[in-house]
Structure 1
Amino acid sequence: MRKIYVIGIGAGDPDHLTLQAAKAIGRTDVFFLLDKGETKQSLIDLRERLIRGYSHPRKRIVEGRDPDRDRTPADYTGTIADWRTRRSQVIEGLIDEHLGDGEIGAILVWGDPSLYDSTIAILEEILARGATTFEYEVIPGISSVSALAAKHRIALNRVGRPFQVTTGRRLAEGWPDGVDDVVVMLDAQQAFTAYPDAEIYWGAYVSTEDEILASGRVADVADEIVTTRTAARERHGWIMDTYLLRRSAPPQAWARPAGRAHALRPGVVGADQPTGSITIDSPGSMIASMAMMRSPATVKLSAIRAPWGVCTRAPAVPSTVAGIAPCARPTKNRAASPAPRTGAAGSAARMTTSGRAGRAGR
């Protein structure tokens, strides 16, 4: 049986390659590359560099032409489905012609194969047609989202609150419900400009020598990002960028009166309710995590989480919990952080570049 590895190779830095990915490259007999044209040759160059560095000397490299597609279609879903089908036909032809029985093939995927990449869906489409058979394995990689967060030294989520990954096309339709932290990919229209009060952490060509980073309040840095992005795209012929958009004010649902207990799940404390959890909001923004017992008489308090750490309480407390005292805030002195450079409205703003883009974008 033929086997194919789908290998995530990271966001652009060769050092992003994991040991698992390097070992898979070393076991591969045939590498399948799709030529995206001269303007995107750097994407092929990184793949060939990794192949040279980790493959065995008898490996073979075969290339196919990546089909063109409409970048501004009226029917987005239908256009993408058609493009994937034409792409799958190219890859299926390469597999049939170049991968022998018992051999291992590999497709090197930018970032992580599970996030906004079509390779897994394409292989499934090939198998569904039934004419070409193989098994495949997915090797995870460092995504551009993870690389962006690392470069900006931020967490993607905030305590107890979700984040969402979406596209610029969807963000242009409105801010997603239920989240205040949104990671945006594939934004050709700079949809972030519609949210001037949000904080943005933006990056292009992240982890490559052409990396550009910017952060700050959208109202302060939007023009600079748009100008820099346009210039970079013209210079390279393509751009790969992503960003985190963050609303600073918490949603109304989080603004609860201090000292009140709120049942989150299952919703109502009672003898017939299954084990669940509740939270307690305190004047110190404390959130207490509690496990409800089936009896409404008592609840087991496991820990009280506050922004400065975790305090533990007695294993059982009365069900009337509004009187629980919050944890005391530590009194140790903290070193003052250096003041950030501020934008026109006084919020922190930052633009950094490296490599060729650094010289041209300053």
Structure 2
Amino acid sequence: MSYKNFPMVPRVIFGRGSFNQLSDIIAPKRLSINAPFIFLVDDVFKNKTWLTSRIPTSYDDRIIFISSKEEPKTSQVDELVEEIILKTKERPSGIIGIGGGTLLDLAKAVSIMITNEGETKNYQGWDLVKNPAIYHVGIPTISGTGAEVSRTTVLTGPERKLGINSDFTPFDQVILDSELTKDVPTEQWFYTGMDCYIHCIESLTGTYLNAFSQSYGEMALELCKEIFLEDSLTKTDAQEKLMMASWHGGMSIVYSQVGVAHAMSYGLSYLLGTKHGIGNCIVFNHLEEFYPDGVKLFKAMKKKHNIVLPKGICADLSDRELDIMIKISLSLEPLWENALGENWKKKITPKKLKELYQKM
């Protein structure tokens, strides 16, 4: 039996206002005055000076605003890397991602591709990265994806949606400042929070479960129940706790795996461009057969927060389009094995998946 030897994020700072320490944190990492820090920032903050005015730029440092309306793509990473290399005199000192899962995944991917040759799509998979990434920092402004802690960067490529899973992917530094999540709209807060909740359910009910995953998953699940079902929390407490739930939920799947909802939502995302959080919710809503208790609780949370999920998103799809989603979904073998065991191919067939997609 060989055990996974995973890297952890070596440095993390937690607390409201900790974003103000970014300058002190990155200053010692500057390689030279010609080696800039590149800040990749969600463009929802473009006119929000309460955040942008605090980004510590000096010398040739650059802020690149990026829309998070679409899931990150391998081609987008290639374009960013090319732009950064062409416009900097020396290799950058570091990449700093400020935003949700999309921006954090882009920051991880860009930091890897600056030191690795070829196209990003060639690194989609497990342990294909040869050279260490440059220094990279993750600063989440929404909680739930676990992207701040994971060793993967989920990207949509020309042929599939799959992460760059490698020991060089995790951030060198993470800043967890829950104050940065204060403007997140309710629906977005719910969908991304449910990504964390679904991580927990899929990890805790999976065949890959072990004490490492279980301890993190149970902690995150309890926090999710508190945040989404109880009324006693102040807004600040809820923000802090969701940030911790996201971290623990991400850690829970580091040593196990996700399951059916993620495998199917990758199909939706690849074909329809459905964002990850809402895609997970749309799928999970129909998975009573696999996660009866988890789905029941999910529906209670959905009702409490008056969330209405889109319906009929697969209603007009052709058989060919459905087949594309089914193929993408079934290609994620570790997820199915975690959910259903080694004989998963006997339990989930293309026909069964098609029926499930057609309900959505």
Aligning the two structures, in what range does the TM-score lie when normalised by the shorter sequence?
A: 0.3 to 0.5
Question: Which of the two has higher C-alpha Rg?
Answer: 1
User: Given the two structures, how large is their TM-score scaled by the length of structure 2?
Assistant: 0.33
More strand by share: 1
